[in-house]
């Protein structure tokens, strides 16, 4: 036998274009009204890109659809027991998530890309929903984070990433993927940044690291996490904090997520990442999440898509269970 068996067929999964077979609510006219009628607690949206660098273009633009395709085989089993959560993804009586498809994207119009991301996240927040944004490269979180200014609250960012993204600019661009946390630090509603998973050689200069430390960033390298576990990281989050989780999937080890542009050995395990997400919800409240930098074109047999899509599904379950 040379063909790979179809797991979805084995489970009886129907054809679906949404993540995990979730109900669709397309980003179009009367969008906010439709969301209000559905009463979902979580809004998922795909953002193929925001502000790509000209040198590489929108290299993660196919990430959202690849993640949907990877987990489609589980769409018939969404109500089955998930051992990562101790029950179904969405417990009975709890409003589920909706998948709002992908935002329009134009590689040559980054300002409109950012405006669309900002708008849809603001609509989710207005409807008291937790946004989950699937990228796209790591420029996507900048307009997402900006949208939280409208809430009047202060936020902690927990960034999981192999790189710290504190460049002031790169190639003359201030809104690109290497500047994400630098831009976040300039937002008045961001009061705390905890960055976990950095390792090896990246884009950061010595000055970038010092600027981050001077601002007040708390760094936990991947090595420190492996040695000390997740509890010291979670202790950095104040009780009751509103937390936005920014997950660049190269934070995870390339043995489980090879589909990234900058593979770096020594990354986080699936369990470490999920334990951090669970711990955030137990200590405070996950107010939003972005999952970026998955590049299906360089994945190995869909392994990275499998890992990331399962982590997104488990994260939805964590968010659904929080107060």
Residue 29 confidence (pLDDT): 64
Tens digits of residue pLDDT in 182-221: 999 999 999 999 999 999 998 899 999 999 999 999 999 9
Question: Which residues of the chain have a pLDDT value below 70?
Answer: 1-2, 10, 13, 29, 93-95
Calculate what percentage of the chain has a pLDDT beyond 90. 85
CATH 3.40.800.10 fits 12-321, yes or no: yes
Q: Which two tokens stand for residue 279?
A: 């711990």
Tell whether the torsion through CA atoms of 49, 206, 197 and 289 is positive or negative.
negative
Distance CA 194, CA 244 (A): 11
Cβ atoms of 230 and 275 within 8 Å: the answer is yes
Question: Phi/psi class of residue 99: alpha, beta or left (left: φ > 0; alpha: ψ in -120 to 50)?
Answer: beta
Tens digits of residue pLDDT in 17-56: 899 999 998 877 677 788 888 888 999 999 999 999 999 9
| Residue appearing with tokens 């790979």 | 4
- Where do the domains of the chain lie? 12-321
- Give the list of residues 6+ apart from residue 138 with CB closer than 8 angstroms, or none: 161, 165, 177, 178, 180, 248, 292, 293
């Amino acid at each position: 036998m040379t063909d790979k068996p179809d797991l979805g067929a084995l489970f009886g999964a129907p054809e679906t274009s949404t993540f995990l077979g979730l109900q669709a609510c397309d980003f179009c006219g009367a969008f906010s009204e439709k969301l209000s009628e559905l009463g979902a607690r979580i809004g998922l949206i795909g953002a193929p890109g925001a502000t790509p660098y000209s040198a590489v273009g929108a290299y993660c633009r196919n990430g959202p659809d690849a993640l949907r395709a990877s987990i489609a085989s589980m769409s018939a089993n969404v109500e089955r027991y998930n051992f990562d959560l101790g029950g179904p993804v969405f417990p009975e009586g709890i409003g589920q998530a909706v998948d709002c498809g992908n935002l329009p994207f134009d590689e040559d119009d980054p300002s409109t890309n950012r405006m669309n991301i900002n708008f849809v996240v603001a609509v989710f927040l207005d409807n008291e929903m937790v946004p989950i944004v699937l990228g796209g490269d790591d420029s996507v979180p900048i307009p997402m984070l900006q949208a939280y200014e409208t809430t009047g609250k202060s936020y902690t960012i927990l960034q999981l990433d192999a790189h710290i993204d504190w460049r002031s600019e790169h190639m003359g661009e201030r809104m690109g993927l290497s500047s994400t946390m630098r831009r976040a630090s300039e937002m008045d509603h961001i009061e705390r940044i905890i960055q976990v998973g950095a390792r090896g050689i990246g884009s950061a200069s010595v000055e970038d690291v010092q600027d981050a430390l001077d601002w007040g960033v708390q760094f936990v390298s991947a090595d420190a996490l492996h040695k000390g576990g997740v509890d010291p990281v979670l202790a950095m989050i104040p009780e009751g904090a509103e937390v936005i989780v920014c997950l660049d999937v190269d934070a995870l080890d390339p043995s489980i997520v090879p589909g990234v542009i900058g593979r770096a050995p020594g990354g986080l395990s699936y369990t470490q990442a999920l334990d951090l997400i669970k711990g955030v919800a137990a200590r405070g409240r996950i107010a939003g999440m972005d999952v970026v930098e998955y590049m299906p074109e360089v994945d190995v047999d869909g392994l990275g898509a499998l890992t990331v899509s399962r982590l997104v599904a488990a994260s939805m379950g964590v968010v659904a269970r929080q107060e």
